[in-house]
Structure formats: structure tokens, C-alpha cells
Amino acid sequence: MTQDYAEKLYQTCYMRVFSFVMTLTGDRLQAEEITQETFFRAISRQSSFRGESDEVTWLCAIAKNLFLDEKRRQTRREPVSEDLPDPARGPEPAAVDRDSSFRIHLALHALPEPYREVFELRVFGELSFREIGMIFAKTENWARVTYHRARLRLQERMNEE
């Protein structure tokens, strides 16, 4: 990969990859680190790009794998800590927000693959159906149908509770 091409790739794709990683991590510093590592790996291992998908899709797949690797490392070395509610808000709103958020995450976690991942890529990653299809090596229509089925299953689980 030439230096000019690498710079162009970085300039044109950085914000989209960073935004995707930011939705996965929720932490700006970690998102920046993963995004930089993504471009480092992509540039140093350009031969792994087969051209079957868009470059952004390829970069997001690398970033997703780096994120998952980092999550595995974190769970092995760090105990989970409980976040304390904000005392300025009072206990009741914080408890309601936390309970609602927890229920949504439980329902989302209970979704089988690939529904959960397609839903997360679409909602949190803000990827198009075409890009999601490329990540899974499927069609855009497959991604669209899978996302809508995931949404229906998520709504059903939320209504059951």
C-alpha cells in the first residue's frame, strides 16, 4: 500500500470508523485507540483486503474484532464494578432509568445471533444495510430482513415483561 493511498484511506474513512467504534465502546479514549489500531492493521496487512466489500466495511470488521478482543482481555483481568447513581438526581429517577436500561439490555442480550449483532450494527453503529450485508458476506436484503426480524423479537420480549 502506498503512503498516499494510506493517507487518503485514513482521511476519508477515519470519522466513519471512529463513529462505529464509539458506538461499540461508549468511551472516547478507547474508541480512538481501537480506531488507530484498526488503521495500523489495515495499512500493514493490506493484502488481506480482497476487494469484496467497501473499504469502510472492511475497516469496521477489523475494528469490531479488535473491540471484541479488548472486551475479552478486560473481562479476564478486571472485576466488574457497580456504578453508583448520581446523588444530584435523587435515587428514584436513577433507579427507573437504570431498571429500564437494564431491561432493554437483557432483551437485546437474549436475541440470538445474527439478530443481535445486525441490530447493534444498524442502531449503534449506524451502518447501512449494504454495509451490514458485506460484513456478514450476505446481501443487503438479508441484512434488512434480519434487522426487522430482530426489531420484532426485541419488541416482543419487551412486551412480555
Domains in the chain: ranges and CATH: 1-77 (1.10.1740.10), 92-161 (1.10.10.10)
Q: Whole-angstrom Cα distance, residue 101 to residue 16? A: 26
Report, in this order, helix, strand and coil percent for the chain, each rounded to 5.
75, 0, 25
pLDDT tens digit sequence for 39-52: 888 888 765 666 66
C-alpha cell belonging to residue 139: 446481501
Residue 148 has what pLDDT? Answer: 92
DSSP string, 11-40: HHHHHHHHHHHHHHH--HHHHHHHHHHHHH
Which residue reads 441484512 in cell numbers?
A: 143
Is the pLDDT assigned to residue 72 strictly greater than 90? no
> Which has the minimum average pLDDT: 20-24, 97-101, 109-113?
97-101
Q: Whole-angstrom Cα distance, residue 160 to residue 58? A: 38
C-alpha cell belonging to residue 39: 488503521
Q: Please say whether the beta carbons of 38 and 66 come within 8 A.
A: yes
